[in-house]
């Protein structure tokens, strides 16, 4: 049986994943701690999530999220304001009728599904980065790890060419699904 996270609708899944990330944000004591993404700190993980998504959303759906605090100065406040704004959008009944048509992506899709596919999944993966950087709970939902991995593997070449993922990391046989998903996106869960 799949976990609730795997079978949830986009608004519920975002609430759960953003909530787990929020716990790691609130638990961070050293924002300058190195993160598993080369050249990033814990602060950079939050900056990335808060900064890339609003422009992506604006370009694909003409939705403007309200600005929050500067994540470089107040990563906790910036993340909380950002996550709340995304949740309001997903909880809005009008979102069900909106579409997403980004110039760099093929086809039109429902807005909530686009947020779920591109953004919520990114928050999920970066939860591990922040947890690893700051010594917090690194466990991710294994069913959702498996679902993400299954969805990304057929797109390997496309994902690598985007520059958004590092080279795959080779793991020993028998690695669990979380380790395999992380290795696929270029993280070495053994370090």
Separation between Cα atoms, residue 56 and residue 50, nearest integer Å: 11
CATH class assigned to 4-140? mainly alpha
Locate CATH 1.20.120 in the chain.
4-140
The SS3 assignment for 99 reads strand
Read off the pLDDT of residues 91-100 as tens digits, 9 standing for 90 and up.
Answer: 999 998 999 9
Q: How far apart are CA 150 and CA 50, in angstroms?
A: 27
**Tens digit of each residue's pLDDT (9 = 90 or more) over 36-56:** 998 999 999 999 999 999 999
| 106 band by pLDDT with thresholds 50, 70 and 90 | confident
pLDDT over 90 (residue 13):
yes
pTM: 0.94
With 0-12 / 13-18 / 19 or more C-beta atoms within 10 angstroms meaning exposed / middle / buried, residue 127 is buried
Between CA 99 and CA 107, with CA 101 as vertex, the angle to 5 degrees is 105
Please tell me the distance from the alpha carbon of residue 191 to that of residue 185, in angstroms, as a whole number.
15
Q: Is the pLDDT of residue 83 over 90?
A: yes
């Amino acid at each position: 049986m799949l976990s609730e996270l795997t079978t949830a609708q986009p608004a519920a899944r975002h609430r759960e994943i953003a909530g787990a990330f929020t716990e790691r944000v609130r638990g961070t004591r050293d924002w300058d701690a190195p993160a598993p993404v080369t050249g990033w700190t814990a602060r950079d993980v939050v900056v990335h999530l808060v900064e890339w998504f609003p422009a992506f959303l604006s370009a694909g759906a003409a939705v403007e999220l309200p600005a929050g605090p500067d994540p470089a100065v107040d990563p906790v406040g910036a993340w909380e304001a950002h996550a709340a704004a995304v949740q309001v959008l997903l909880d809005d009944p009008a979102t069900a009728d909106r579409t997403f048509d980004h110039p760099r992506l093929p086809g039109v899709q429902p807005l909530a599904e686009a947020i779920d596919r591109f953004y919520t999944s990114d928050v999920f993966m970066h939860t591990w980065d922040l947890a690893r950087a700051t010594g917090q709970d690194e466990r991710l939902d294994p069913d959702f790890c498996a679902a993400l991995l299954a969805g990304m593997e057929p797109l390997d070449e496309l994902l690598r060419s985007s520059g958004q993922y590092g080279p795959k990391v080779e793991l020993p046989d028998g690695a669990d699904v979380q380790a395999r998903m992380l290795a696929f996106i270029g993280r070495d869960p053994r370090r």
